[in-house]
Amino acid sequence: MANRMGLTLLSRSDNVGVARVALAAFAAQLSFTLSDLEEIKVAVSEAVTNAVSHAYPGAEGEVAVSATADGDLLTVEVRDAGVGIPDVAAARAPSFTTVPDRMGLGFVFMESFMDELEVSSAPGQGTTVTMRKRCRPQAG
């Protein structure tokens, strides 16, 4: 039977670390390597940071972070009800950013460190980022 967890956080930069640590602890119940867990932490940090930085300009809102561990598969979802992304394909391109002091690599890191990345968004409807990572057999 699958195990699930969920957090609802305010869109504050202080809460990025909370989501990162909580997801790493949850993912540790699967057979991920330490390197895998570090990659999961980076991907979650990037997804939550995107919601904190972009979803609610000039205001705070909620960011929901949930995860499911099912067999050897971890599924993570980061969801906000913010302004949404007008052009998801453009936003996923390396170096694309709407904030001048950002590098625009959040989606690149998520895609690199997870096995699957889905981004669903519409202006005024918010954004949902779904990431999946499967445990690999350990060499032994």
Which entry of 15, 20, 39, 50 is annotated as an active-site residue? Answer: 50
Secondary structure (3-state) at 64: strand
Which entry of 15, 20, 39, 46 is annotated as an active-site residue? Answer: 46
Distance CA 30, CA 102 (A): 33
Distance CA 114, CA 103 (A): 20
Is 102 among the catalytic positions? yes
Is 3 among the catalytic positions? no
Which entry of 92, 102, 132, 134 is annotated as an active-site residue? Answer: 102
Bridge pairing between strands 3-10 and 116-122: unpaired
Is 50 among the catalytic positions? yes
The catalytic site residues sit at 46, 50, 102
